[in-house]
Amino acid sequence: MCELLAMSANVPTDICFSFAGLMQRGGNTGPHKDGWGITFYEGKGCRSFKDPKPSFESEIANLVSNYPIKSKAVVCHIRQANVGNVCLENTHPFIRELWGSNFTYAHNGQLADYQQTLQTQKLKAVGSTDSEQAFVWILEQLRLHFGDERPDDQELYQYLAQLSLRVNQFGVFNLILSDGDFVFAYCYNNLHWITRRAPFGPAKLIDTDVAIDFKKETTEKDIVTVIATQPLTCDEAWHKMSPGQWVAFVGGEVMAQGQLQAPKVKSHAQLMGEKNG
């Protein structure tokens, strides 16, 4: 499986500390060696870095981990390929325009027997992954349901949750989606988050010998939420999301959340067994 990382903050913030831990899992402390990518939002624009090489040995990943790009919303992914070749077009996160905004998406999991239901008429996937097909299907459903005008935020979050649940019936589906203003997370089995605010304290990464004192790097008004597949630090209390739970963050704060009845789906091992059988 892959791993996800995202950030929502009320002030432009760099994600160097968290990314330094995640990149170790891309071929060093973890098996997610089939590429990585990260997208930073800056106003209505965004900059994205991708590499089909393992993040642990990627020079581009080293650049990102050492260059403090400031952003209020970040989406990141490290890949362990299940569907689709290891190549740049199959590397998350994926970005498409909707309602005049750049929507960025990353998925952790694997889908099966989805092709007929998740067909699209106008939007087409560039690569060959189940993840990207689910993304373009979600965007097309948003356009069909709401038309050419962006809906109220609460309506949007609720419908995104319903679409996530519909995709979830085809397999393991953990999702991060952002338009630069909100960061939306849907959990099927593995997703955690933590909100850091004053009084800030120290934290140490699990995957590498790096620690930080956030008090020295922040102001009393800063609010920063980090979402990750698995906790990245060993000395902080992370919230573990439950199956079917979704949360929308804006400016580091929870703006909306809900709990759906997650479907019972086949495990990754079962899916792989069918694929190889």
Which residues are known catalytic residues? Answer: 2
Task: Please give the DSSP secondary-structure letter assigned to residue 198.
Answer: S
What is the C-alpha separation between 28 and 35, in angstroms, rounded?
13
Q: Choose among 175, 195, 142, 146: nearest CA to 246.
A: 175
Dihedral class, residue 262 (left if φ above 0, else alpha if ψ from -120 to 50, else beta): beta
CB 110 within 8 A of CB 274: no
* Total residues found in the chain within this entry: 277
Q: Choose among 108, 97, 36, 42: nearest CA to 73.
A: 42
What is the C-alpha separation between 128 and 161, in angstroms, rounded?
24
What is the C-alpha separation between 31 and 208, in angstroms, rounded?
15
CB 186 within 8 A of CB 164: yes
CB 60 within 8 A of CB 4: no
